[in-house]
Amino acid sequence: MSIGTEPAVGAKRNYLQALNEALHEEMESNPDMICLGEDIGLLGGAFGVTEGLLARFGSDRVIDTPISESLIVGAAVGMALEGRTVMAEMQFMDFISCGFDQIVNNLATFHYRSAGEVNMPVVIRGPAGAYGGGALYHSQMNEAWFCHSPGLKVVCPSRPYDAKGLLKAALRDGNPVVFFEIKELYRRRELEEAVPGPDEIVPIGKAAVRREGRDVTLISYGQNIYHCLAAAEKLQSEGIDAEVLDLRTLVPLDEEAIWESLAKTNRVVVVNEAPRTCGFAGEVLARIAEKGFEYLDAPPARVTRLDTPVPWVKPLESYVLPDVEKVAAACRKVCRY
């Protein structure tokens, strides 16, 4: 089964173009929307996601900031309090830690602290992930930090269709959303596809089956979806029929999609690129153990990064990260139990 089944309209786009198109459309339709970030205006962003926004919408709405993630998020919080919708870019998600206090103690809590009177329509987005030789400061997947912070939604699309549709949904949501983009997918030509139109979104909180199967469920998101799909094709020749479930949204988590898949396959492997200890794969497995144990015919498994920073040298980087063979090996183990 090919990736995705949603109806698609418009010209084909790569992952980066889909994000850029979403920002243009939302800025056009929402005059109260502001974009903040380092080099997002004149440069168009370090990777080009915000290219063209400054020329089209001007420096009052597309604002180049100092190199201070704390300032960026703090300004976004203040603008949201004044009724603005804000897109705040992190040049790399690795450096989101510099704005951590503003995110988890201010942005995430304002709605609760105001007894529901104040919304925080802020999307913090930026490039994340490894596999490109970026070493320890430009390779992190730190999504679990924010999944652990009540008040935040967390999104990580794996394909252009979802990148555009989920970013538009996030900018219309009214709640703060941390939006992880996979930089290694930005310009992958083989992923180009038609994307949603200006009035369409992909709903937050809904997973998608990327491949149907009957023997084992592979659950993942972002870059690792493609490792899962390749592993599933590899396993097919061995007589193992794997289903691949793309979470797309981590918070809120689509548990119903997980139960529906497990009811068919009765075995599960969860894959995340972040370190093993306290990674999101562990959260998924904990929920399966608590609520879906009756579905299981074998112990669940996870494939993750080792508990180490990401090395720069390519063989070492490959050693610590999930890959196709590691995913396939985990599937073989649970299927032979």
Q: What amino acid positions are annotated as catalytic residues?
A: 138
Under 8 Å CB-to-CB from 194, ≥6 apart: which residues? Answer: 8, 9, 10, 11, 12, 13, 161
Q: Which is nearest to 51 in space by CA: 22, 92, 85, 80?
A: 22
Q: Which is nearest to 282 in space by CA: 250, 323, 326?
A: 250
Q: 153 phi and psi, to 5 degrees? A: -100, 150
Buried b (16+ CB within 10 A) or exposed e, 260-273: bbbeebbbbbbbbb
Q: Which is nearest to 258 in space by CA: 293, 229, 308?
A: 293
Under 8 Å CB-to-CB from 30, ≥6 apart: which residues? Answer: 85, 171
